[in-house]
Amino acid sequence: MDSQNPKKSVTDTVLASRVGRAIGRMAREDQFSGAVLICRSGKDLFRRAYGPADRTWNIRNTPQTRFRIASVGKMFTAAAVLQLIEAGKLALGTHVVHYLGLKGTNLPAGVTIRHLLTMTSGIADWINEDGQDANAEWAAFCRRNPIYLLRQDSEYLPFFSQLEPYGPPGESFRYNNAGFILLGLVIEKAAGLSYFDYVRRNIFARAGMARTDFLDLDDCPPDVAEGYFPIRDGTGRVTGWRRNIYFATAGPAADGGATSTLDDLVRFSRALRSGRLVSKELVETMLSPQVSAEREGHNWMYGQGCFLLVDDDRNVVRWGHTGEEEGISCRLYYYPEQKLDVILLGNQSSCAGRAAAAVHSLIVGDG
C-alpha cells in the first residue's frame, strides 16, 4: 500500500505499543535521542523521552526537556506575517525589496510576501539546500564565517543579498532560509518591534507556550538539551559524540532556532488550527497546498511556511514542518483525518526523520 494514503488505523493502545518498540529500538542503536509526543484531541497516546540531554553529566532527556527546534520555527514566522496581513499592515502582494528599502542588492524587485511564504522567490540562499552535499556546504560556510556572531535577522543579509538569484520569482519551489530572514525583517518594520518580541507577544503568549523562547546557544537556561552529532569509524559505527557549538548559529532567527517543548508545540498547533492566532480563513491558506515540493517520491506540497503530504487525490494526509541543524532534529506534524498531533524533538543530528517515518507508517496502517 502507498503509505501516503491512510486506511483504518489501529487502536490507540496498539499504536502506542508499536511506536514505543520502533523508537526504543532506534534509541538503543544510537539512532534517536530526544522526546516524542502523540496525542489525539487532547488525550496523550504516547509520551516518552530517550537518551541524554547532557552526555558529559549523563543527564537524561524527559518529556519536559526543552529542545532547539530549527526550522519548525518557520511556522511561527508564517503565522506572524498572516497576523499582520489580517491587521491590514501588509498584503500577500507587498513587494519586499521596495518595502524594506533593499535596492542596490541582487534581490529580485518583483519578490512578494506570497513568494517568500511559499518558497518560490528564486532568492539565492547562503548555502544551496538542494545541492548534492548540503552538509559539506554548511561545514565550509561555518569555517569561513563567524556564525557565533549571528544573533539578528539583519546580520544574515550580507550572506545572500548580493548573490545571483536561482531563478525568477514564482517559477518554482526551492527550499529557502533567506526568504524567511526577509520575512523577519518585514515583521519588524510592520510591527515596530523586534522579530523576537513580536513573536513572543503574539504567538507564544497567545498560544500559552510558556516554556518556549528565543535562546542563544551560549545561554545557560534550565532544562535545555545539548545538541550532539556522532563521530563514526570507517564502518559507520558511532565511536563518540561532539557538541554542535561550532556548527549551529549562536542565535535563533526568523528562519528557525527557537527553543520549545513537546507540550508547547502541541499548544501552537491547536491554537493555529482553531483560529486563535490567525483567522481560520487565513489559516486555511497557510495549511493548504500552494506549490509542488516533490521529493523522495512522495506527494509533497508547500503551503505558507508549512509542508503538506497529500494523497493521490491531493487530500492532505499530514501538515507541519521539519527542523534540522547539526545536533538538532525535529518534526511538528498534524494528521487531520486521524486528529493526531505528532511531535518529535531530537538532540542529535538527523534522528527525527527516520523516527517520524516509522511513526507515519504506523499511523496510516502501513507498518
Residue 250 located in a structural domain: yes
pTM above 0.85, yes or no: yes
Whether the pLDDT of residue 322 is over 60: the answer is yes
> Which pLDDT tens digit goes with each residue over 307-321?
999 998 889 999 999
Beta-strand runs (E) in the chain:
34-40, 43-50, 52-54, 59-60, 67-68, 228-232, 238-243, 259-260, 291-292, 300-302, 307-310, 316-325, 328-335, 340-346
Residue 6 located in a structural domain: no
Confirm if 214 and 77 have CB atoms less than 8 A apart. no
What phi and psi values does residue 237 have, to the nearest 5 degrees? Answer: -70, 140
Residue 143 located in a structural domain: yes
CA distance 112 to 259: 29
- Residue 138's pLDDT band, with cuts at 50, 70 and 90, is confident
Mean pLDDT score, 139-163: 90
Residue 7 located in a structural domain: no
Reduced to 3 states (helix: H, G, I; strand: E, B; else coil), residue 62 is: coil
| Helices and strands (DSSP H and E) totals, the chain | 12, 14
pLDDT at residue 295, as a whole number: 65
CA distance 280 to 286: 10
Mean pLDDT score, 205-226: 97
pLDDT at residue 66, as a whole number: 98
Residue 205 located in a structural domain: yes
- Residue 1's pLDDT band, with cuts at 50, 70 and 90, is very low
Mean pLDDT score, 202-207: 98
pLDDT at residue 149, as a whole number: 86
- Residue 212's pLDDT band, with cuts at 50, 70 and 90, is very high
What is the average pLDDT score of the chain? 93
CATH number for the domain that contains residue 130: 3.40.710.10
Number of domain units in the chain: 1
Confirm if 189 and 100 have CB atoms less than 8 A apart. yes
Residue 3 located in a structural domain: no
pLDDT at residue 296, as a whole number: 59
Residue 149 located in a structural domain: yes
Residue 5 located in a structural domain: no
Confirm if 244 and 328 have CB atoms less than 8 A apart. yes
> Which pLDDT tens digit goes with each residue over 331-350?
999 999 999 999 999 999 99
Whether the pLDDT of residue 147 is over 50: the answer is yes
For a pLDDT cut of 90, what percent of the chain falls above it? Answer: 84
Domain span at residue 95?
Answer: 12-363
Mean pLDDT score, 290-297: 79
Reduced to 3 states (helix: H, G, I; strand: E, B; else coil), residue 263 is: helix
Residue type, 250: A
Per-residue cell: 157: 543579509
